[in-house]
Structure 1
Amino acid sequence: MKNIKKITIIGSGFSALAASCYLAKSGHDVTVYEKNATTGGRARQLKKEGFTFDMGPSWYWMPDVFDRFFADFGKKTTDYYELIKLAPAYRVYYGIDDFITIADNLRDITIAFEAIEKGSGSLLNEFMAEAKSNYDIAIKDLVYRPGISPLELITAETAMKVGQFFSTISKDVRKKFKNERLIQILEFPVLFLGAKPSDTPSFYSFMNYADFGLGTWHPKTGMFDVVRGIESLARELGVKFQMNSNIEKIIVVHKTAKSIQVNGEIITSDVILSGADYHHTETLLDMEHRTYSEKYWDSRVFAPSSLLFYVGFNKKIKNISHHALFFDVDFYQHAKDIYDEPQWPKEPLFYANFPSVTDETAAPEGMESGFFLIPLAPGINDTEALREEYFEKIMDRFETLTQQKVRNTILFKQSFCKNDFVSEYNSYKGNAYGMANTLLQTAFLRPKLKSKKVKNLYFTGQLTVPGPGVPPALISGKLVSELINKQFLAQQL
């Protein structure tokens, strides 16, 4: 591309890193400004007393999206990190000695379903065939469209599935399955999209194919391997990084983004692309240049916030798997406490991740690293006392369900909750995953990649197209880079 531009990127999460690679490949002069000390955004890494934790994303799904990203640069995923397929993928606990193990292949999962509910094995195969069809349409095609027009959603394939946009995952699952445990397992994957299964269109069953069809993977030494890999690719392409660089203002002249103010310094550029929180980015603009009002943001359905604990244990923990879901309390009451009547749940569901089960570098020899997560309503009150109360709640249940005492083996624990999401990531209401993918917040109905009011100002990430999750973040980076290049190509003609 002859029309080389100086491009400033705000933030270094997955979407920003991906965009930096695509824009640098096109020949642009790209610099990434990150407010924190390391790259990765919410996917940063915590190292403490010989233990290593991924601070954010811990599930590696949709490996084909990562492969497609690196292939765009003539590279392979294996050029940057090694993947391990988890077997089992994860375990779901319902009580003492009462759990369901999700295998690493659909055949064994089908057998497990059939053992719980007669006839459910064949029904699962039917459901998964539809989920795979949706995956092929959505992930291989639709999500690579920029969310500019509703016409993007109209194809021969989607025309045949129009009814799935007006039904929900919850309704479809319940038509086929009666066992409440199987229903919850099939509803679980769409929680990654940030909304209740009863509010998520049926078409999003492609997440079930991502789960049962493609499996759950783990980068050899954690999700930060992926951050390091994409950062390494970006540097190979000439991208420059400025850490500890807090953006204080986006300066607009004659309705055109001209520069950013960073730690008191003015940095000019031809294009400003923000991979930071969309709402926060607009607060860096004067009021007249903001596309979306506070009323708009407040009316959106946001994905949950989270209470996280990073825990170092001085011994190996028994009766656990790499990923574990604790569904021994009311699944739907917890969802109600997040979305319908926001409050701290009396009895929270929680997720536990023990990377040291797979990765020996995650903890010192003979010890265990544990990551615990409780989904919470965004904007909820967050205090140290509440954090401690809920740690005790989940530890009581964890010890009971896994039949062991672990509190006396804890070397340290470090918490992260709504207030930290706000202070560390400028996250709107402290949400952890972005804006939910409900019917009215899908594709062209999401905040736009390109500012409507300010020329040369763009956005990427989980509050815009295509939505929450690591694979969508990589796609978002590609989509916005294509829009930027399209603008400059048009200027040359």
Structure 2
Amino acid sequence: MPQQKAVVIGAGIAGIATAIRLAIKGYQVEVFEANSYPGGKLSEIEQNGYRFDAGPSLFTMPQYVDELFTLAGKNPRDYFSYDQLDIVCNYFYEDGTRLSAYASTQQFAKEIEDKTGEAASAVINHLANSRDIYDITNHVFLERSLHRLQTFLRWDTVRSIFRLPQIDAMRTMHKANSASFKDARVVQLFDRYATYNGSDPYQAPATLNVIPHLEHHFGAYFPHGGMYSITQSLVKLAEELGVKFTYNSTVNEIVVDSKRVKGIKTKDELIAADTIVSNMDVWFTYKKLLGKHPALHPQKTLSQQRSSSALIFYWGIKKTFPELDLHNIFFSADYLAEFDHIWKKQTLYHDPTVYINISSKLKANDAPEGCENWFVMINVPSNNGQNWDNLIAEARAYILSKLSRLLDEDISKLVETESILDPRSIESKTSSYKGSIYGTSSNNRFAAFLRHANQSSKIKGLHFCGGSVHPGGGIPLCLLSAKITADMIE
């Protein structure tokens, strides 16, 4: 029997992982990537002696990366290494409060009690609830397809369904956190986890309180070569397994005949394939690559609310700040107003919450000596035609003013190099519709069930992976989407 040919559209982290899994299953695999580099959002930027990880900066659940090497019979440490963080993140508040989120639950709880007066037991109980939500949802709703009958015929699925009230889907995240904690600063800290998948804690279900468990049980890590080394190591593995990567090659069409995939069209040729996996945002997959087949589009799914986007400044800072660590959050004084501006007004708030990632804290050669590489990000709405040039200028002024005040230093005088990524460029560089980072939002309590499936119900041989489909965005979920997708392909 001749070897089956699989084409993967897009070399994002999920596309690379799917290619690896299909190669291990015996497929001939070719990955087509429009950019000149792999990784999608998980790429890097170099400028004037500074190196920045361009996109995802928090690394959790490293076992999902290790698993790919183990499946291929390789030692993960021969390709990729990482260290666990003792402090996950530093938090800065407008009232002068500073908190360190220690990886250790006991240390973290004590830190919160010492700094805010919130009982340590409240933190421990909240994280125990986070663990329970994970235990109910993980093996059933994150590691398997929700769109196949056999998933719901398994005993562990039935058992989880009986425990569904425990995942707290009927309350918003903010209401649940307000019930758990008395101190507004602690509520705000735990509300922040909604932004991990581009959602609003005042709308999203409290089920998202599963996320803290990933940090405080499994831990947060830093790859020795920076986040981009995840991409590099997986591409190396894929190539060793015979996967072919074709860069600077935009796919223009998925060829379908009698509701079955036949291949893809690029500018130069028609490539036949038995199986096609799209790592492109599902919206663009249908609207651009399957534009000739509107009757096959899942219109209801494609009209769902998009996740938020991001505005990122990559700043080379000619000074070091001992009070900052790898991950740092400077909170808005009015979180509700900030999210109302993002979601209801579709614009920016004058006092945004600012995230700063500084990889040179752990990888010194990412910045010149005596300097730091600041990845400075705020959450923003997806692109709906706003005047982004004006908004970027306003946001830059807001951020510099806020950081200068809270760090007691004029940050504007320290910026010696700058690049900017906004919703428009996120869309153009990563084919993320409207620049939404996580596909659809999770502001609906049924969002987990409404994401697009990992295979088409109307086109045989067409599959999907990545942050715009089940189970969602972020590195761990993208890697799980690759697992679910590859397991579906016989």
TM-score, with normalisation over the residues of structure 2? Answer: 0.93
Give how far 1:150 is off.
7.7
Letter in 2 for 1:321: D
CA distance in 2, matches of 1:150, 1:484: 16
Give how far 1:30 is off.
0.1
| Alignment check: 8 A CA contact 1:290 1:453 kept | no
Give how far 1:255 is off.
1.9
Letter in 1 for 2:256: V
Give how far 1:372 is off.
0.7
1:55 aligned residue: 54
Match of 1:303 among 304, 307, 313: 307
Q: Alignment partner of 1:369: what SS?
A: strand
1:165 aligned residue: 169
1:87 aligned residue: 86
Give how far 1:28 is off.
0.4
| Alignment check: 8 A CA contact 1:418 1:431 kept | yes
1:108 aligned residue: 107
1:385 aligned residue: 390
Q: Which runs of 5+ in 1 are unaligned?
A: 486-493
Letter in 2 for 1:225: S
Instruction: Answer with 96-105 or 361-370: which moved more.
Output: 96-105
Matches of residues 268-347 of structure 1 in structure 2 within 5 Å? 268-283=272-287, 284-289=289-294, 291-292=296-297, 296-298=301-303, 300-347=304-351
Q: Alignment partner of 1:126: what SS?
A: helix
CA distance in 2, matches of 1:151, 1:442: 21
| Alignment check: 8 A CA contact 1:289 1:453 kept | no
Q: How many residues align?
A: 483
CA distance in 2, matches of 1:58, 1:329: 24
Percent sequence identity is 26
| Alignment check: 8 A CA contact 2:99 2:115 kept | no
| Alignment check: 8 A CA contact 2:319 2:414 kept | yes
CA distance in 2, matches of 1:125, 1:219: 28
Cα 1:441/1:230, change in 2 over 3 Å? farther
Q: Alignment partner of 1:482: what SS?
A: helix
CA distance in 1, matches of 2:178, 2:52: 37
Letter in 2 for 1:172: A
CA distance in 1, matches of 2:200, 2:37: 33
Q: Alignment partner of 1:41: what SS?
A: coil
Letter in 1 for 2:419: Q
| Alignment check: 8 A CA contact 1:147 1:446 kept | no
TM-score, with normalisation over the residues of structure 1? Answer: 0.92
Superposed CA offset, 1:152-204 (max 9, x none): 46431341232523233322221121101101111222321222223333333
Instruction: Answer with 101-110 or 32-41: which moved more.
Output: 101-110
The answer to whether the aligner puts 1:39 opposite 2:29 as a matched pair is no
CA distance in 1, matches of 2:290, 2:226: 36
Matches of residues 217-236 of structure 1 in structure 2 within 5 Å? 217-236=221-240
Letter in 1 for 2:177: V
**What is the CA RMSD across the aligned residues, in angstroms?**
2.1
Q: Alignment partner of 2:100: what SS?
A: strand
CA distance in 1, matches of 2:286, 2:310: 24
Instruction: Answer with 326-335 or 271-280: which moved more.
Output: 326-335
Letter in 1 for 2:230: V
2:134 aligned residue: 135
Q: Which runs of 5+ in 2 are unaligned?
A: none
Q: Alignment partner of 1:306: what SS?
A: strand
Q: Alignment partner of 1:95: what SS?
A: coil
2:437 aligned residue: 432
| Alignment check: 8 A CA contact 1:259 1:267 kept | yes
Cα 1:237/1:211, change in 2 over 3 Å? same
Cα 1:290/1:72, change in 2 over 3 Å? farther
Cα 1:290/1:63, change in 2 over 3 Å? farther
Letter in 2 for 1:104: A
Instruction: Answer with 111-120 or 286-295: which moved more.
Output: 286-295
Match of 1:464 among 465, 469, 487: 469
Q: Alignment partner of 1:89: what SS?
A: strand
CA distance in 1, matches of 2:329, 2:88: 11
